[in-house]
Amino acid sequence: MTAVYQPTARTTATRNRGRMRYDREAAHAILDEGYDCAVAFVIDGEPRILPTLHVRVGETLYLHASTGGRLGLTARGDGVPMSVSVTLLDGLIYARSQFHHSANYRSVVVHGTARPVTDQTEKQNAMTALVEKLGAGRSADSRPPTARELATTVVLSMPLHEVSVRTRAGGVAEESEDLPLPHWAGVLPLRRIAGPPEPDAGVAAATPAYLPGPTSPWHTAVPLRGKHVSLEPLAPSHVDGLLTALGDDEVWQFLTIPRPETREQMADIVQTAARQQWLGERVAWAQCDPDTGEVMGTTSYHDIDPSGRALGIGHTMLGRRWWRTGVNTEAKLLLLERAFDVLEAERVFWYTDIRNERSQRAIARLGASRDGLLRHHRLRPDGTWRDTVVFAVTADEWPGVRDRLRQRLAAG
C-alpha cells in the first residue's frame, strides 16, 4: 500500500479534485527531479515569493538562502511560515476553444514552518546533499565551504507534513460541440534537456562523468594505448599542447577550418569537439606520446551511425615532427580495432580533400579502398567548394587490413 500524506484544509482541492494526490512516492519524485522551487511567505503583512534551490533528505525539505536576504532574515528565531511549490511542465495543450487550452504538469505544494538549521553537522550535510543533487560525486570534486561561507549561508529545514501533489496528463479535453471546429488541436510535449557542458576559462580538467552526456559506446571516448601513441579523450588540458604541436600551416592546409593563432581559438576548437560529442556527432581523442605525455595531435570518429554500424575516422591533425613515423599508422589501428572488434562496425570510412594527395596515399596505405567522390561536399576556409574523396574498409576486409597494419608496425 502506498504511503500517503494526510490531507489538511490547506491541501484539499476545491476544484479539479481528480488531479490531486497525496502519495509520498509521487511527491518525492517531483521534489527530487526539480532543481528549483518558489518560496512564498509574508513580511510585514505583504506577500513575498522567491526562487531558490532545494533538496529533499528523507521527509525534510532543505532550502538555501543568504543570511542577509529577506528569507534568511525573516526565518530567524522560530522560523517562518511558508508555502513551497515545485512544478515540472510537461506539455502545452492546444484546444479548439480558447477556454480549454491548458498544460500537462506535475507539481508539489508544501505548507509548513521553515526553521534555520543551527546544528553544524546537519547544516553541512544538507549543503553537501544540495551539491550532490547537481551531480553524484560533485561534493568530492569541489572545495568544501569555509567557516566564513557557512556563516553567511542560511539553510532552512521544512518538514514534509502538509504535502499535496497536483498533476495533469493526457490530451485535449473540451466540449463535444467544439470537436467539429476546423482549428488544430493537440499537445506540444515539453522536456528540460541539458545542453553540452561549457567549461569555464582556464579549466583543464575533463568533463566529469556525472554531467549529462552520451552513454552509447559508439559515442564514448575511451583511452587507447599503443607503443607509439596513446589516444586520450580530448579535454581542455590538451589545448596548450595542441597549439604547440600543430603550429604549422601545412598541417591545416586541407582542413575545413583555419589554423588557430591563439590559445583561445584552439580552446574553441576543443570545445566544439566536446559539443559535437555531446550531440552524438563526433568522438574526439588527443594523440599523445605514451611515455612522456606530450601532445602530438588529435583524431576523431565522426558521422557515427550505430544503426547502420558505420562511422568515419577524421578530424586528424598530427604535428609535422611525427609525420612518417609509426604514430599515424598505430593511431588508425587502435581506432579500427575499437570500431570493428569492440563496436562491431560493418564499415569504417575516411573523407579527404581531392587536392590532398598526401592524405589519400596515407589512407590507401592503411588498406582502405577508394569508394568514390563527393562533389562540392564541403566549404573550404577560402570559400571554394571541396570535392571529397571517400575511402572505406568493411568488416570482411578488416582481418586482412589488421594483419598488414600490425606487420608494418612490427617492421618499424
Claim to verify: residue 134 and residue 223 sit in the same structural domain: no
Q: What is the mean pLDDT of residues 324-342?
A: 96
In this structure, is residue 71 part of a structural domain?
yes
Please, what is the average pLDDT of the chain? 93
Asked whether residue 203 is assigned to any structural domain, the reply reads no
Instruction: Over range 243-262, report the average pLDDT.
Output: 93
For residues 126 and 229, state if they share a domain.
no
Q: Which of 59-63, 239-243, 381-385 has the lowest mean pLDDT?
A: 381-385
Q: Which of 68-82, 334-348, 355-369, 380-394 has the lowest mean pLDDT?
A: 68-82
Average pLDDT over residues 133-150: 93
Tell me the β-bridge partners of 295: 288
Q: What is the pLDDT of residue 2?
A: 60
CATH number of the domain residue 104 falls in: 2.30.110.10
Mean pLDDT of 128-145: 94
The reported pLDDT for the residue numbered 193 is: 86
Q: Per-residue pLDDT tens for 147-168?
A: 999 888 899 999 999 999 999 9
The pLDDT score that the predictor gives to residue 387 is 96
32 and 117 housed in the same domain: yes
pLDDT at position 203 is 86
Note the pLDDT tens digit of each residue in 266-303: 999 999 999 999 889 999 999 999 999 999 999 999 99
Residues 269, 173 share a domain: no
Q: What is the 3-state secondary structure (H, E, C) of the chain?
A: CCCECCCCCCCCCCCCHHHEECEHHHHHHHHHHCCEEEEEEEECCEEEEEEEEEEEECCEEEEEEECCCHHHHHCCCCCEEEEEEEEEEEEEEECCCHHHCEEEEEEEEEEEEEEECCCHHHHHHHHHHHHHHHCCCHHHHCCCCCHHHHHCEEEEEEECCEEEEEEECCCCCCCHHHCCCCCCCEEEECCCCCCCCCCCCCCCCCCCCCCCCCCCHHHCCCCEECCCCEEEECCHHHHHHHHHHCCCHHHHCCCCCCCCCCHHHHHHHHHHHHHHHHCCCEEEEEEECCCCCCEEEEEEEEEEECCCCEEEEEEEEECHHHCCCHHHHHHHHHHHHHHHHHCCCCEEEEEEECCCHHHHHHHHHCCCEEEEEEEEEEECCCCCEEEEEEEEEECCCHHHHHHHHHHHHHCC
Q: Give the Cα separation of 193 and 174 in Å (integer).
A: 31
pLDDT at residue 226, as a whole number: 95
**241 and 157 fall within a common domain:** no
pLDDT of 208 strictly over 60: yes
Mean pLDDT of 177-186: 95
Residue 321 included in any domain: yes
Q: What is the pLDDT of residue 69?
A: 78
Q: Could you give the C-alpha distances from 385 to 257, 353, 361, 388, in angstroms and in order?
A: 13, 10, 22, 10
What is the domain-level CATH number for residue 360?
A: 3.40.630.30
Q: Same domain for 257 and 138? A: no
Domain presence at residue 171: yes
237 shares a domain with 151: no
Reported confidence tier of residue 177, pLDDT bands at 50, 70, 90: very high
Q: Is residue 247 part of a domain?
A: yes
6: in domain: no
User: Same domain, yes or no, for 221 and 184?
Assistant: no
pLDDT tens readout for residues 87-98: 999 999 999 999
Q: Is the pLDDT of residue 1 over 60?
A: no
Q: Do the domain assignments include residue 205?
A: no
Domain endpoint, select from 172, 189, 206: 189
Distance CA 284, CA 235 (A): 9
pLDDT value for 256: 86
The reply to whether 180 and 31 lie within a common domain is: yes
State how many domains the chain has.
2
Residue 349 banded pLDDT, cuts 50, 70, 90: very high
Q: 37 and 185 in one domain?
A: yes
**Is 401 in the same domain as 260?**
yes
Residue 348 is assigned to a structural domain of this protein:
yes
Q: How many CB atoms lie within 10 A of CB 77?
A: 8
Residue 181, domain extent: 17-189
Does residue 154 sit in the same domain as residue 78?
yes
- 213-252 pLDDT, tens per residue? 777 999 999 999 999 999 999 999 999 999 999 999 999 9
Average pLDDT over residues 22-33: 95
**How many angstroms separate the CA atoms of 25 and 385, rounded?**
58
Percent of the chain at pLDDT exceeding 70: 100
